[in-house]
Every structure is written in structure tokens, then in C-alpha cells.
Amino acid sequence: MIRLAESWRSLQVPPVDAATIQALASEQLGENPAGREDGYSYSDFGYGDVGWFRATAIGYPATNVLLISRYPSDESGGDHQTQGAAV
């Protein structure tokens, strides 16, 4: 699923299996990510000049949901840049 503006759209691709989701989360979040004690973990990261994102893994390390969210384009500063630089 992808959210565009105010609506959700289904991607026309086959589902990803649990092992792939767990591997993607592990690659992005590492061994001791923030929030782990709360049942989810997250990592902030930049992608070139495109912007800043947050990967949130539910149930890490046995991740069953991996969310990738983009920070709003009007957020040019703040904590996420510091956190993202450490990833």
C-alpha cells in the first residue's frame, strides 16, 4: 500500500514474504535500534537529495510490518537529520 495525498493505493505487485520483510528491516535498523523495548523499532535516514525518511519495524526483530514514511518536505531541520546521520 502507498499513501498519495489523502488516499491509500494498492501497488500492483505480488506480496513480499515474511523472511524478506525481516531481512529488509534488519538491514536498515541494525542490531540495537531505537524504540525496541516498546515493541517496534525505527531508524531515520536520508536518501540523496530527495529527503528524510523513517523506517519503522513492528515486532522487531521478528518484523511482520515494515513502514517507510517520508518526512514532510517543509521539515528542513530538526532531530531527524541528526538521527539519520547516525544510521
Does 7 have pLDDT greater than 80?
Answer: yes
Give the confidence band of 23 by pLDDT, cuts at 50, 70, 90: very high
Q: How far apart are the first and last CA of the chain?
A: 25
Return phi, psi of residue 77, to 5°: -135, -170
Q: pLDDT tens for residues 45-76?
A: 998 888 899 999 999 989 989 998 888 876 54
CA 4 to chain centre: 17
Answer for the pair 28, 55: CB distance below 8 angstroms, yes or no: yes
Which whole-number Å values give the CA distances from 38 to 26, 42, 56, 60, in the listed order? 17, 11, 12, 10
